[in-house]
Amino acid sequence: MANIGFIGLGIMGLPMAGHLAAAGHSLFVSGRSRRRDEIEQGATACSSHAEIARRSDIIITMVPDTADVEAVLFDTGGVAEGLSAGKLVIDMSSIAPLATKRFAERIAALGVDYLDAPVSGGEVGAKAATLTIMVGGSEAAFERARALFDAMGKNVTHVGESGAGQTAKVANQIIVALNIAAVGEALLFASKAGADPVRVREALLGGFASSRVLEVHGERMLKRTFAPGFRIDLHHKDLGLALASAGELGVSLPQTAFCRELLNAARGNGEGALDHSAIVRQLERLAGHALGE
């Protein structure tokens, strides 16, 4: 069993940390976190990120954005100040691939391995320990962390060197966003045409159009259950990473750009904190029609 520092006890981080505690690992978390007591086996509170790093063999970060990861790692009192040779840092946030490579280089200079291991599966997957985990970094570091990943996820893949995990996550977010928009358009079309969108979805689930997005997010759209599993604000951020990276690569992503604008419209309407399935509400505004009308 390992001493694990876990930074970021949010919607997904909390259940992920809970699975590690349940597996018998000792957890060290920020004393400022109001959610540490929600971890079933408890966790030791620390006064700073540096203290978390000093008391842990492996440090996991699960925070919203690139700037947050950089601050946690390198600000005064940050993780880097508490690291020593032989430790391992795992960032499970979804951030910029190029920044990830820079962070890995700075951590490696301290004699510490670094893995980028973003996840997919949302709050449901985090709670059920069925997350898809995409990992970048050395093979040796991946093998060292494999048991931890297996405690939190079901589909764990070592994609390649540093940054490869984040690149895979950006690709995942492109596919998910486009699928959510497609499901929203299809159900809205069916409803506007006079068909029952509930029955249309049932029919589509049995054919080639079937997908996890149609199953889960299609149901959310129809039932109007937009409590966040994955917030619009975060998906908007992820598509921003995709478009910024595409710009550097000279790759055109027109459908990704369209979906980001839908998410941007949602944020403009004060819906950034809703689940990303609420993208359908922007399509409804454009159509002047709501599902089930």
Alpha carbon separation from 274 to 68, 216, 288 (Å, rounded): 21, 15, 21
**Residue pair 73/79 in contact by the 8 Å Cβ criterion:** yes
**How much is the mean pLDDT over the chain?**
94
Tell me the whole-structure pTM to 2 decimals.
Answer: 0.87
Residue 56 CB burial class (10 angstroms; 0-12, 13-18, ≥19): buried
Q: According to the model, what pLDDT value does residue 34 have?
A: 59
DSSP assignments along 206-263, one per residue: TSTT--HHHHHHHHHHHHT--S-SSBHHHHHHHHHHHHHHHHHHT---HHHHHHHHHH
Give the Cβ contact number of residue 286 at 10 Å.
11
Residue 41 pLDDT > 60, yes or no?
no
Say how far apart CA 72 and CA 61 lie, in whole Å.
Answer: 8
Q: According to the model, what pLDDT value does residue 43 have?
A: 87
**Residue pair 108/89 in contact by the 8 Å Cβ criterion:** no
Q: Express each pLDDT in 98-124 by its tens digit.
A: 899 999 999 999 999 999 999 998 888
Residue 31 pLDDT > 90, yes or no?
no
Q: According to the model, what pLDDT value does residue 122 have?
A: 86
* Percent of the residues in the chain that have a pLDDT greater than 70, as a whole number: 97
Residues 6 or more apart from 165 whose CB is under 8 A from it? 100, 115, 116, 117, 118, 134, 135, 136, 137, 159
Which of the residues are catalytic?
169
pLDDT grade for 17, boundaries at 50, 70 and 90: very high
pLDDT grade for 1, boundaries at 50, 70 and 90: confident
Say how far apart CA 262 and CA 268 lie, in whole Å.
Answer: 10
Residue 184 pLDDT > 60, yes or no?
yes
